[in-house]
Structure 1
């Protein structure tokens, strides 16, 4: 019998304020360890009571990231996948809501008969079980666990206590804590202040945890003196006080951390051998992102532009596609309601490409349709994702096929619903986790732009929707020139559409941005950017 692999654990916590970049820090650590030859995965523990973010507003939560197995998760899982180039699953994201749901279900079932169910040990035991379950698969050498929220928050206390118990049970050689804090620069005083970091570590110490490594976020590099002062007052070795200063791109962060030996400090702490690192490909990618040969301007016509995180994966997919095309993709978020109140030409005339992303609800829909019409008629490269594809079908039906009242059943119910609800969704009552979610296969039609992009006949992409192309109109729309370039293997679902007489007019029912990787751009984004570059050249020539 083979000896079971000894798994090491890294817990990433955050202090002082939220949005410091714990997800980027965890992703960067994971990348460096992976590039040294270790099998690594990352999991996120979120303190909110929602079972998952699927029913949250994009204005509040940002995008909902969907995994292959159909889990609706936190957007940090997107960072994990993009940096590590590995697929996550529902096991990589846990919420307080899931934990309490499972514990209460067990209580109702009678699993705790005779016992008063309490936060300690019942809630913390459930959290610990989830923190350890990926390590029990035997696949990984190192598990990185990011704990959401800020140390000191009431809602994250059970997670911190569970971490403390695991660190005590497994020992210092097997578990470490990386704490991400803020070192602000006070303009009026003209100096950086270490007190917030000191207080944050004090909070951790009061909860029974001495951090092993501090990743200090700041605008500029920390001086040697500042790092030594932080080390002195936090009981952390000075070489383990890492300066995480603002970079030109998030993909530069792993290099900054590597230059300060963060990965070797972690390996030393965990008593793991320092295997050779292969950083050249990542360095070349970052160099291209920072110093591209050209640029291209793309408009993202959306409904949630006030919160850029609502389109996080799309923004990052353009970084990856830009690097592969050696250009900087300058994206600008345009409110679809602005397109409604002004003319599409007024708002969109200065862009080389137009993307219409997914979304829900009737607000701003006609603005998106006007943007699609403008792109189609003026031969501007267009890319429609999920709702963007559905509205491209509506626009084509109205203005090319002559179905003046064409619409989606999501907004108007009539006999001209070229987009309608999926049959299996009709009787669904609960909103949470009931859409068509996760990876599904798609068969591509040869000779299409879709096939040229993927260069293979069958693909798998991730979905998140309730409505679909209405097959009652398939023949009519095809007769009028709509190309159906991707369908489900049973030929029941239309997954991709495009136009043959257009430089690049492609729509997909799935979310390709969820499978784009830092050094492996998604084919549809890569080709859309390439078409936008060609359009830019034509514009300059004209």
Structure 2
């Protein structure tokens, strides 16, 4: 149903609104070059083609969003829009399943066995798992568990900001034999702080201390194989918007890399980790930046576009496997 929202401009055109707006705002008096007119016409054709209603037979892709603020999904409005942009580009429908991260943790006072079972019943069959940004300790062990499930079961995974950090912590614990790997944000006395404060951040004052705005990310030499890098169409340097105050601890980079966690992109000083990826996985990508901030209807975010594509491929493979499975009666 979300596609109908994007189809509203075309409906308004059909109802004759455009001539009225043109007359009211005197847009016909604006000077336009032939190229501008042609570009505008192409954008409008592309918009109408992309947002046109699809038949009921249009396939769906199921994405599990494992977050801390799922009771108020407007917290993730940019993430949701980015998913919609990518799903439309691949001519699919979006089946978004919101999962409260804390419910993926072992039952305790914070969650019941019923909530735990329900949460995992949503995550396990999902075509893709997305862990977005967030702050604070609550629910992070659930996010780590979701990242582990995605890594071990070859389920496409996209980690945004905190979502990248929990994926690195999970990898450190289970692939680098660092069982007490953690984050300074989550535990000030963490024995193995994989995630730490950035050196320039004021540790006492939280307000106005984040690394914000558009920053360059440089793809590293020898990472031409990277799935996410290929989506940026040969660019060696990209600019994405940031919003964080923690980063990967440089002291653990060599150990993580040796175990197979590839740091695809770094900042312009070559010390801050911006993009991670697993090579032997259909799609396991984490980004320190927030690519959803630059996503547009006709220009979906590259990491989201690749993630949704991998999730669709995962669904197709699962359906094929199910169809190929022998029946119980041997026929």
**TM value normalised by structure 2:** 0.84
- Equivalent in 128, 146, 152 of residue 371 of structure 1: 146
Q: Which residue of 2 aligns with 1:261?
A: 16
Q: Which residue of 1 aligns with 2:195?
A: 419
Greater Rg over alpha carbons, structure: 1
Deviations 1:127-155 (A, max 9, x none): xxxxxxxxxxxxxxxxxxxxxxxxxxxxx
> Structure 1 residues 262 and 453 mapped into 2: Cα distance closer, same or farther (>3 Å)?
same
Q: Which residue of 2 aligns with 1:448?
A: 226
> Structure 1 residues 296 and 419 mapped into 2: Cα distance closer, same or farther (>3 Å)?
same
Q: SS at 2:27's partner residue?
A: coil
> Structure 1 residues 289 and 369 mapped into 2: Cα distance closer, same or farther (>3 Å)?
farther
Q: Which residue of 2 aligns with 1:306?
A: 71
Q: Are 1:333 and 2:94 counterparts?
A: no
Q: Are 1:484 and 2:263 counterparts?
A: yes
Counterpart contact for 1:345–1:374, Cα < 8 Å: no
> Structure 1 residues 421 and 520 mapped into 2: Cα distance closer, same or farther (>3 Å)?
same
Shift of 1:381: 0.5
Q: SS at 2:317's partner residue?
A: helix
Counterpart contact for 1:301–1:336, Cα < 8 Å: yes
Q: Which residue of 1 aligns with 2:133?
A: 358
Q: Are 1:533 and 2:312 counterparts?
A: yes
> Structure 1 residues 472 and 315 mapped into 2: Cα distance closer, same or farther (>3 Å)?
same
Q: Are 1:270 and 2:34 counterparts?
A: no
> Structure 1 residues 417 and 290 mapped into 2: Cα distance closer, same or farther (>3 Å)?
farther
Counterpart contact for 1:469–1:494, Cα < 8 Å: yes
Q: Distance in 2 between matches of 1:301 and 1:247?
A: 21
Q: Which residue of 2 aligns with 1:383?
A: 158
Deviations 1:241-285 (A, max 9, x none): xxxxx9852211212222233332223223331787723211101
Counterpart contact for 1:387–1:509, Cα < 8 Å: yes
Deviations 1:412-458 (A, max 9, x none): 12231100011111356251x33111000001132212211212211
Q: Where in structure 1 do 4 or more consecutive aligned residues deviate above 6 Å?
A: 274-277, 288-292
Q: Which residue of 2 aligns with 1:28?
A: none
- Equivalent in 159, 167, 170 of residue 395 of structure 1: 170
> Structure 1 residues 291 and 434 mapped into 2: Cα distance closer, same or farther (>3 Å)?
farther
Q: Which residue of 1 aligns with 2:273?
A: 494
Q: SS at 1:326's partner residue?
A: coil
Counterpart contact for 2:228–2:306, Cα < 8 Å: no
Unaligned runs of 5+ in 1: 1-245
> Structure 1 residues 493 and 291 mapped into 2: Cα distance closer, same or farther (>3 Å)?
farther
Counterpart contact for 1:288–1:326, Cα < 8 Å: no
Shift of 1:539: 1.1
Q: Distance in 1 between matches of 2:229 and 2:80?
A: 24
- Equivalent in 70, 77, 89 of residue 324 of structure 1: 89
**RMSD in angstroms over aligned alpha carbons?**
2.1
Q: Distance in 1 between matches of 2:198 and 2:54?
A: 41
Q: Distance in 2 between matches of 1:249 and 1:418?
A: 44
Q: Distance in 2 between matches of 1:465 and 1:249?
A: 34
**Pairing of 1:201-216 with structure 2 (within 5 A):** none
Q: Distance in 1 between matches of 2:286 and 2:158?
A: 6
